[in-house]
Amino acid sequence: MTTSPRSTADSFAARYNRAPDGVWQGPGRVNLIGEHTDYNDGFVLPFAIDRTTAVAVAARDDRTVRVSSDFADAVATVSLDDLDDPQLAAGTLSGWSAYPFGVVWALRHFGADLASAPGFDAHVASDVPTGAGLSSSAALMCAIAVALNDEWQLGFDAQTLARVGQLAENKAVGAPTGIMDESASLFGRRDAAVFLDCRSLDSEVIDLGLEQSGLEILVMNTRVDHAHATGGYAARRASCEKGARLMGVASLRDIDSDDLPRAERELDDETFRRVRHIITENQRVLDTVRTLRTDGPGAIGALVNASHLSMRDDFEISVPELDLAVETAQANGAVGARMTGGGFGGAAVALISSDRVGQTTDAVTHAFADAGFREPECFTVHPADGAGRAL
Ligand code: ADP
Ligand code: MG
């Protein structure tokens, strides 16, 4: 799999027998810190990565939309008339094409006039691993969203496109995700992270300075697939809503560490631990941003490590594979390590000196073999620019 714009254009031409109008790309993301805080109106600090999803698009002169992907052989087809429906009739969308078709539908929700828009053909290629917690879903959503924003000359800003992607994930795919992933994919900058206030949607680019510090981000993909649309993610979301309701606040953003004693008195143990994770994680994001500004990335390790423990013990979204990857990286000299993404599988990340990448990769691989786990996939990623036109 590759996302070179040229090869994506070639794949498009092979499939549709014509050249695309252009190629757009959306990166995956790593969340440096701030997990499950986004849907609690809190703070997150992700960055876009140098692994991207590319989409080649050409307009059609009818109302048909066709999408294909290196990922799945069949071409999925829908009519714009079916997507021009505020309620989105049940059964219109299924499978992976719910992501691109969902973006079309969500663009309509934000004011795009689908009645006068031409159909299009699109081909997708990606080197973002799916289901690894690197948000291949947002990479895809954002690639399609920026492509159609240009093709249809919609003039939406990046913040609106992030909300389009989130709405499509929530309503067309049925995954109750927050605004973080799309924001990272759209606002990312080279060697920088995106500090996002998920309540106001204000974002600020924060220099990471990894290169000058001799540090790398090592992704350790456990290859334990998570399933966002079901199970634990939705349960954690429900616990947070319950905690906020019982604490009498609109969202957990509205309480801080001063409220922890009251939370402990008023909430059952499980809800209290969920709430404590959110409160402390929000504070860790703020502390990380401050520390990056004053002392650089070499100084954020304790915050990153504490985030992992909070997710493991209070939020209970880690799995043994993630814990082993984190502990092995820490034992091999990582500045800090934590699971990243929604949890229950996917990837962990380590902030690590460049000269320790090989040794740590070997150590994690051996530790997984010894534990009888599936072989992990380890690779470095670099903070990269956000979604846009590539060709
Ligand atoms: P994550 O975002 O962590 O990778 P998700 O479950 O949210 O995991 O999204 C993965 C899903 O997104 C895939 O199962 C598939 O439906 C869709 N998807 C992502 N990338 C592609 C792609 N390149 N081609 C087709 N579908 C894709
Ligand atoms: Mg996703």
**pLDDT tens by residue, 109-154:** 999 999 999 999 999 999 999 988 899 999 999 999 999 999 999 9
1 pLDDT more than 90: no
106 pLDDT more than 90: yes
| C-beta separation of 31 from 14 below 8 A | no
In a shared domain, residues 119 and 245: no
Write out pLDDT tens, residues 184-204.
Answer: 999 999 999 999 999 999 999
In a shared domain, residues 292 and 173: no
What is the CA(5)–ligand 1 centre distance, in A?
A: 19
From the alpha carbon of 227, which atom of ligand 1 is closest?
Answer: 6
Judge if ipTM > 0.95. Answer: yes
Instruction: Evaluate: CB of 343 within 6 angstroms of ligand 1.
Output: no
Ligand 1 pocket test, pick from 30, 51, 67, 99 with the greatest ligand atom count within 8 Å of Cβ, gives: 99
pTM: 0.95
Angle at 389 between CA 386 and CA 391, to 5 degrees: 135
Q: How confident is the model at residue 227 (pLDDT cuts 50, 70, 90)?
A: low
Distance of alpha carbon 186 from alpha carbon 352, whole angstroms: 26
In a shared domain, residues 132 and 214: no
From the alpha carbon of 129, which atom of ligand 1 is closest?
Answer: 4
Name the active-site residue from 41, 181, 197, 225: 181
Instruction: Evaluate: CB of 344 within 6 angstroms of ligand 1.
Output: no
Check residue 44 and give its pLDDT: 98
Domain assignment present for residue 343? The answer is yes
Domain boundary among 205, 237, 270: 205
In a shared domain, residues 20 and 152: yes
Q: What is the CATH number for 363?
A: 3.30.70.890
Instruction: Evaluate: CB of 102 within 6 angstroms of ligand 1.
Output: no
Domain assignment present for residue 391? The answer is no
Instruction: Evaluate: CB of 373 within 6 angstroms of ligand 1.
Output: no
Check residue 92 and give its pLDDT: 79
What is the CA(156)–ligand 1 centre distance, in A?
A: 24
Q: Please give the structure tokens belonging to residue 205.
A: 């680019």
Residue type, 355: D
Higher pLDDT, 71 or 273: 273
In a shared domain, residues 144 and 170: yes
Provide the number of structural domains found in the chain: 2
Give percent of the chain above pLDDT 70: 98
Q: Please give the structure tokens belonging to residue 228.
A: 């966002």
Give percent of the chain above pLDDT 90: 91
Q: What is the CATH number for 170?
A: 3.30.230.10
Domain assignment present for residue 386? The answer is no
Distance of alpha carbon 119 from alpha carbon 67, whole angstroms: 11
In a shared domain, residues 251 and 302: yes
What is the residue range of 186's domain? 5-205
Check residue 2 and give its pLDDT: 55
Residues in the chain: 391
- φ and ψ at 192, to 5 degrees? -145, 160
Mean pLDDT of 351-362: 98
| C-beta separation of 9 from 19 below 8 A | yes
Domain assignment present for residue 152? The answer is yes
Check residue 229 and give its pLDDT: 45
Instruction: Evaluate: CB of 132 within 6 angstroms of ligand 1.
Output: yes
What is the CA(213)–ligand 2 centre distance, in A?
A: 30
Torsion of CA 222, 224, 230, 232, to 10 degrees: -60
91 pLDDT more than 80: no
Check residue 15 and give its pLDDT: 96
In a shared domain, residues 148 and 232: no
86: helix, coil or strand? coil
Q: Whole-number mean pLDDT of the chain?
A: 96
Domain boundary among 205, 224, 247: 205
Domain assignment present for residue 157? The answer is yes
Q: Give CA 176 to chain center in angstroms.
A: 13
Ligand of minimum distance to the alpha carbon of 95:
1
Domain boundary among 179, 205, 231: 205
| C-beta separation of 6 from 24 below 8 A | no
Q: Whose C-alpha lies nearest to ligand 1, atom 13?
A: 130
In a shared domain, residues 35 and 10: yes
Number of Cβ within 10 Å of residue 379's Cβ equals 14
In a shared domain, residues 43 and 175: yes
In a shared domain, residues 252 and 187: no
From the alpha carbon of 226, which atom of ligand 1 is closest?
Answer: 6
207 is catalytic: no
Distance of alpha carbon 62 from alpha carbon 117, whole angstroms: 9
In a shared domain, residues 112 and 230: no
In a shared domain, residues 128 and 26: yes
Instruction: Evaluate: CB of 136 within 6 angstroms of ligand 1.
Output: yes
Domain assignment present for residue 390? The answer is no
